[in-house]
Structure 1
Amino acid sequence: MSEVYITKASKYLPNSPISNDEMGEVLGFFNGSERVKNIVLRNNGILNRYYAIDKSKNITHSNAELTYKAIKGLLDSEFKIEDIELLSVGTSTPDQQLPSHAAMVHGLMKGSNRLEINSASGICTSGMNALKYAFMAIKSGMVNNAVAGGSERVSPMLSLGNFNYEMDTAAKIEENPVLAFEKEFLRWMLSDGSGTFLLQNKPDPRNEVNLKIEWMDGQSFASELETCMYSGAEKAENGDLISWMNFSSSEWAERSIFSIRQDIKLLDEQIIKNGVESLKNVLNRHEFEASEIDYFLPHISSFFFKEKLMEGIRAEGLDIPDDKLFINLDQIGNVGSASIYLMLEELMYSKRLVKGDKILLSVPESGRFNYAYALISVE
């Protein structure tokens, strides 16, 4: 089996950073919206985020374009676009249902070869699933290199224009404030951007550090728990999802079928508890002690969960002190499947790393509670 190294990382964050005070100018407000915004921002700790729309409500980038721009950052005179053997990308917000996100990204990669493509669907763990496919392809010797990435372009879905009809006609904030908050909650949480890694079967001698992927693993709780975060469906009283295809086109707007919703109560009950349990299980399975971790990179949607996560870790007897944490949520926002790429990219080029350091990546997904992990060594 081949070894697998991350030899380069790249990111693309569209337009200028948007502060908390500027968010309303971009996304817009409706009745009760600003009150919810203040509650959410007070808890999530995010100071800046990026949107692929401008303050005039013009869309500036597609999701595929965000990914392609991050891929361009991996290229140089020694590694050109025609050298890429595999493209594996994940997102929860593709520009279209068909064709796949990877196909659309490859369509922008003029000059590349007729390479293999892979699209990973899902929510936050789709980026890790894309990384694992690339990791396994190199590990098994099927390819010598691969580009993996995660990206999101959620801002057009969060802008006021996508809420006016349902809010004005159904007055849902007054009639159903819980539904309104579940939708508003995510409006002030999510950001746009992309991150990519170049994976190769040998380290790049030009680099100060190369990152060796030791293993990747994951656990899903979907067989035990109902859906928490969803879009393109409506949740029935028994917890089942009713597909958008079961509704008429007029009901799509009236019932807010395509908005992103999250069951906040279920999220609070389950996300940390199962995250800590899955973390302990994965470390045990790989016979790796938590005390050996030098940098812990957990994807968290909000700083509200940071202390809860660390309390849960301590309660399970896992030796991961707070000073091992590396999180950049406050400066770039919650970029879903791209967040783990953006964290590791920043750490990789921070000049903090020394050979022998161990980095643990941890990505939870609240869709139906899926958790993905990777252990990385600095070479």
Structure 2
Amino acid sequence: MSAVYITRVAKYLPNSPISNDEMEDFLGRVDEKASKARRLILRNNGIKNRYYALDKSGRATHSNADLTSLAIEKLFNDEFTAHDVEVLSCGTSTPDHLLPSHAAMVHGLLGNRSVELNSSSGVCCSGMNALKYGYLSVKSGNSENAICTGSERVSTWMQANKFEREIENLKELNEQPIVAFKKDFLRWMLSDGAAAFLLENRRRGEISLKIEWMEAFSYAHQLEACMYAGGDKLVDGTLKPWSDYTAEEWLEQSVFALKQDVKILDKNILEKGVESMKAAMEKHSIGPDDVDYLLPHVSSHYFIDGLYQKFSEAGIAIEKHKWFTNLANVGNVGSASIYLMLEELMNAGNLKKGERILLSVPESGRFSYAYAYLTVC
């Protein structure tokens, strides 16, 4: 088996940062009214700025594939060019199309040469799944390198005009014309952007990150869906797929909107996160003292104190001064968030050889978790 190193990291964040007070200027106001939930949600999540691939007229400035390819292109120079790529593995929650695959669309924009493709779907873990595909390809000797990405373009899903027909339908039924909290909640949580890693079977440059191991866990056998799109949840907790609705219902019920069951989220996200992280650490015989940086993907600062408390109760608490997150400055970019954190940490120039980094990514889709353990070398 080959050693696998992250040798280069890059990101692409579209346009200028958008403050909390500017969000509705870009996303619009549902029923021409300011959201009552917005300020409460923003106060809890701690996000100050985010990025949208939109202009103020609501017109998209980039596709998801655009964002991803622009991040990838920053990895290239005279030593490693687009024509050297062997594997392209892309993860996202918000592909531009049902098909072709996201990776195929990105490859089309790169226009380099024939490569092996992988597209990982899901929610936040899709970026880590894309990373693991590239990691296993290089580790097994199937390839000498792989480019792995996480990206999202969610802003266009959150625009007010996507909910207009639902609001009209509620008015016709003489019901309160307010978008359900499970949908409105996510309008103030998510952001756009992309980041990319170059994986190789040898070190490159002053600093490389050796991937020691990766682990993933799913609790879908125990828990119902929490975050979903392209369908809706029935009384028994099952999901009715979009293809079983009429075209009229797609609009009347905002079937394609992103939704999150907050009650299920609060009840399970931390508990299963601690359970899975403890299992990963015990499997590889590491403890809190074996981690110099913890990069936790959290959707909101609301969860940080609770997560630390539960880590402490489980005996795996990593001291908070070792935690690194950039959520406040770039927002929650889903599958790209862990890439963006590592990109910022690696390019800041403060890492020292021998330090160990633990990546931790939960996803609330149906409660999946992914981890990676890296050594600076």
Q: TM bucket by the smaller chain? A: over 0.9
Point out where structure 1 has 5 or more consecutive residues left out of the alignment.
none
C-alpha separation in 2, matches of 1:370 and 1:190: 19
Q: Counterpart of 2:3?
A: 3
Q: Counterpart of 1:213?
A: 211
C-alpha separation in 2, matches of 1:73 and 1:288: 34
Q: Counterpart of 2:89?
A: 88
Question: Amino acid of the residue matched to residue 334 of structure 2?
Answer: G
The answer as to 2:232 corresponding to 1:234 is yes
Cα pair 1:33 1:184 within 8 Å, conserved: no
Q: Counterpart of 2:98?
A: 97
Cα pair 1:86 1:116 within 8 Å, conserved: yes
Deviation at 1:161, TM superposition (A): 1.0
Point out where structure 2 has 5 or more consecutive residues left out of the alignment.
none
Cα pair 1:229 1:262 within 8 Å, conserved: yes
Question: Amino acid of the residue matched to residue 144 of structure 1?
Answer: E
Q: Counterpart of 1:59?
A: 60
Deviations 1:7-55 (A, max 9, x none): 0000000000000011010011125642211111010000000000111
Secondary structure of 1:35's counterpart equals: coil
Cα pair 1:276 1:313 within 8 Å, conserved: yes
C-alpha separation in 1, matches of 2:367 and 2:68: 26
Q: Counterpart of 1:113?
A: 113
Moved more, 208-217 or 311-320: 311-320
Q: Counterpart of 2:335?
A: 337
Q: Counterpart of 1:275?
A: 273
Please tell me the root mean square deviation across aligned C-alpha atoms, in Å. 1.5
C-alpha separation in 2, matches of 1:212 and 1:43: 35
C-alpha separation in 2, matches of 1:361 and 1:62: 27
Cα pair 2:171 2:177 within 8 Å, conserved: no
Question: What are the equivalent positions in structure 2 for 1:1-379 lying under 5 Å apart?
Answer: 1-31=1-31, 33-110=34-111, 112-171=112-171, 175=175, 180-204=180-204, 207-379=205-377
C-alpha separation in 2, matches of 1:177 and 1:148: 42
Question: Amino acid of the residue matched to residue 303 of structure 1?
Answer: H
Deviating beyond 2 angstroms after TM superposition, the runs of 4 or more aligned structure 1 residues are 30-34, 171-179
In the alignment of these two chains, the number of paired residues is 376
Question: Amino acid of the residue matched to residue 12 of structure 2?
Answer: Y
- Change in Cα spacing, 1:176 to 1:86, as seen in structure 2 (3 Å) is farther
Question: Amino acid of the residue matched to residue 36 of structure 1?
Answer: A
- Change in Cα spacing, 1:176 to 1:362, as seen in structure 2 (3 Å) is farther
Cα pair 2:170 2:176 within 8 Å, conserved: no
C-alpha separation in 1, matches of 2:361 and 2:319: 18
- Change in Cα spacing, 1:319 to 1:167, as seen in structure 2 (3 Å) is same
Secondary structure of 1:163's counterpart equals: helix
Deviation at 1:172, TM superposition (A): 10
C-alpha separation in 1, matches of 2:106 and 2:200: 20
Q: Normalising by the residue count of structure 2, what TM-score does the alignment of the two structures yield? A: 0.97
Question: Amino acid of the residue matched to residue 196 of structure 2?
Answer: T
C-alpha separation in 1, matches of 2:243 and 2:357: 43
Deviations 1:86-136 (A, max 9, x none): 0000001000001100000000012x1211010001110000000000000
Deviation at 1:349, TM superposition (A): 1.1
Question: Amino acid of the residue matched to residue 97 of structure 1?
Answer: L
Deviations 1:265-304 (A, max 9, x none): 1000000010011100110111111221000001000101
Cα pair 1:166 1:172 within 8 Å, conserved: no
Secondary structure of 2:30's counterpart equals: coil
C-alpha separation in 1, matches of 2:174 and 2:5: 53
Q: Normalising by the residue count of structure 1, what TM-score does the alignment of the two structures yield? A: 0.97
Q: Percent identity?
A: 53
C-alpha separation in 2, matches of 1:250 and 1:319: 50
C-alpha separation in 1, matches of 2:173 and 2:298: 28
Cα pair 1:172 1:179 within 8 Å, conserved: no
Deviations 1:56-82 (A, max 9, x none): 111100000000000000000111100
C-alpha separation in 2, matches of 1:185 and 1:173: 23
Question: Amino acid of the residue matched to residue 306 of structure 1?
Answer: I
C-alpha separation in 2, matches of 1:188 and 1:18: 12
Deviations 1:137-166 (A, max 9, x none): 000000000100000000000011101111
